[in-house]
Amino acid sequence: MENIFIFIGSKKDFNDFLSERNVDDTALKFMDLIRQYNELIRASNVGFLDTDSLFTTGNKSNVEDCVVRGEDYASVLEHVVTNFTQIISLGHNIRNLYLHNPPKRIIETLESEYKSSITYRNSEYRKISKENLKEISSHLEDFVVGQKAAKRKVLSNLYRLSNMQEQRPIIMLFAGPSGVGKTELAKSLSDYLDGKLLRIQFSMMQTNEASNYIFGDKHSKSSFARDLLQRESNIVLIDEFDKVHPNFYNAFYEIFDEGIFNDLNYSVDVNDCIFILTSNFNNETEIVKNLGMPIYSRISSIVKFDELNDDEKILIITKTYENVISSLDLEDAKTVEILNVKEWFAAHASDYNNIRLLNSRIQEAVYDILTSQLLDN
């Protein structure tokens, strides 16, 4: 192989890199190589080996480009990763090999055999500077209703990140009741940084599942490290961090201190990353008691979210209602507007303390009306 390009980062950026290199769908795919290799193994096992095959005659074909995508490793057995270089070079002379987020074992093998041929490329995440803090502030105002103090605290942390001399992540703990904008703020920040938010919910995993996800299992299994490698922005949201089993908190010491995370299969650099941990804690005493001092001491900032007041809820009602109405045809919109749905919810704003629930109830009310109109006309 003349050139080996190892790309670390998001799928979107890897595809952009391939486009820059004019690599299209005609490139040899890793899964085609695996099929050829498996056919060879099966034929050899049953004694019907094709003596004219590329794999047995040594007459290798010349291939300009071969692409191995991040999801390909999850589709193969363990021995494929172990014998990666043999499989790659078995029947073809590959000029340019493109690898997306390969496991550590593949990188180590390639470096031992082809070190001088390897070029590394990475996703380049959008940086935050103090010059664009006002723009970020305006963006958050457009997407998140209320929570003025929380937004100001987040901007303070972003200023700190832009001015830090040492490279390490910022860790913010969003604390407060459910449904008041914690996740929405994280999403809007990631949106500003031009990437889909990486959102992780450990609370939905059982103990064994969480252990395998955090510390790594077979390379074919999903893992925290692999998800971090593929992030599109430098914002990582860990929802309901207080629901993570305390046994797993020690896995975060290195990543929060050093900006490096290692599991069985991958190594990830998350310096300059912003980790947002959400919780329902009401105060710092609760945080220390539940998370423990080792984790608490590594948190850069506690960002407190408050209950929304009625005026803020009415703004949310108006925005949600208008979004729903805009998706309807003219006749349906008139049917709903006649019944003053928005006005009813505004009058009962104090009954709702959860934004998600409020949004859901508005949509439910609109479509209940339309369904009744359709069936009972």
pLDDT band at 205 (very low <50, low <70, confident <90, very high): low
pLDDT band at 44 (very low <50, low <70, confident <90, very high): low
CA angle, residues 100, 102, 104, in degrees to nearest 5: 155
How many domains is the chain built from? 3
pLDDT band at 59 (very low <50, low <70, confident <90, very high): low
Written as one string, the DSSP assignment of 304-323 is E--PPPHHHHHHHHHHHHHH
CA distance 374 to 377: 6
CA distance 344 to 328: 19
Per DSSP, the three-state class of 235 is: strand
For residues 61-90, average pLDDT = 82
Distance of CA 54 to the CA centre of its chain: 41
pLDDT of residue 41: 61
Helix axes 330-338, 310-326, angle to 10 degrees: 150
Residue that finishes a domain, picked among 273, 289, 304: 304
Per cent of the chain over pLDDT 90 is 21
Residues 151 and 286 in one domain: yes
By the 10 Å C-beta count (0-12 exposed, 13-18 middle, 19+ buried), 69 is classed as buried
Residues 168 and 210 in one domain: yes
For residues 130-134, average pLDDT = 87
Using an 8 Å Cβ cutoff, are 20 and 119 in contact?
no
Residues 136 and 271 in one domain: yes
Residues 266 and 334 in one domain: no
Residues 9 and 102 in one domain: yes
pLDDT band at 46 (very low <50, low <70, confident <90, very high): very low
**Considering only 206-215, 223-232, 315-324, 341-350, which range has the smallest mean pLDDT?**
206-215
Residues 300 and 314 in one domain: no
Task: Please state, rounded to an integer, the average pLDDT across all residues of the chain.
Answer: 84
pLDDT in tens, 178-187: 888 888 899 9
Residues 147 and 66 in one domain: no
Give the range of the structural domain holding residue 370, as residue numbers without chain letter: 310-376
pLDDT in tens, 113-130: 888 899 999 998 888 888
Model confidence at 165: pLDDT above 70: no
CA distance 352 to 180: 11
pLDDT of residue 204: 66
CA distance 342 to 18: 49
CA distance 125 to 144: 23
By the 10 Å C-beta count (0-12 exposed, 13-18 middle, 19+ buried), 220 is classed as middle
CA angle, residues 280, 283, 284, in degrees to nearest 5: 110
pLDDT in tens, 7-34: 999 999 999 999 999 998 888 888 888 8
Residues 114 and 87 in one domain: yes
pLDDT of residue 257: 87
Residue that finishes a domain, picked among 270, 304, 338: 304
Residues 182 and 294 in one domain: yes
pTM score, whole prediction: 0.82
Using an 8 Å Cβ cutoff, are 144 and 151 in contact?
yes
Residues 95 and 240 in one domain: no
CA distance 140 to 146: 10
- How distant, in Å, are the alpha carbons of 1, 81, 93 from that of 28? 14, 18, 11
Residue that finishes a domain, picked among 93, 121, 149: 121
Model confidence at 42: pLDDT above 70: no
HSE toward the beta carbon, residue 82, CA cutoff 13 A: 4
CA distance 20 to 35: 28
63 backbone dihedrals φ, ψ, rounded to 5°: -125, 130
More confidently predicted of 157 and 50: 157
pLDDT of residue 152: 92
Using an 8 Å Cβ cutoff, are 185 and 147 in contact?
yes
CATH number of the domain bearing residue 282: 3.40.50.300
Residues 216 and 324 in one domain: no
By the 10 Å C-beta count (0-12 exposed, 13-18 middle, 19+ buried), 223 is classed as buried
Residues 35 and 17 in one domain: yes
Per DSSP, the three-state class of 52 is: coil
